[in-house]
Amino acid sequence: MGAYINPQTETKEQFLTREGKLLKQIPAWKDVPDKMLPICLVDNGMFTAGAVLFSEQELKSFTLPSDSRPKMFYMVPVEKLKEVSPELSHYLR
């Protein structure tokens, strides 16, 4: 299923605006800074999802050319992500 952000006191969009840096393009995994991870904010129509791209494979999964859902990418410090994505620690082992 992966790791997703789920802030309790604000929307995903508010969290990402406050804690993340909006990227102008899809990041290359080799360019992800230490202690940061990319987030893909995906518009699913009825709701948005903030996927934590914790590995190169996750990044590839959310950037397939066949996936036409609108997306925005952010770079967020891992420590901030742990606060809103409890399952993330499982994937960072």
Name the residue ranges covered by the structural domains of the chain.
3-91
Mean pLDDT of 20-27: 97
User: Smallest Cα–Cα separation from 1: which of 77, 78, 93, 85?
Assistant: 85
- Predicted confidence (pLDDT) per residue in 61-85, tens digit: 999 999 999 999 999 999 999 999 9
Does pLDDT of 93 surpass 80? no
Does pLDDT of 1 surpass 80? no
Mean pLDDT of 38-55: 97
Q: Work out the mean pLDDT of the chain and round it to a whole number.
A: 96
Specify the pLDDT at position 2.
87
Judging by DSSP bridges, how do beta strands 48-52 and 21-22 pair with one another? unpaired
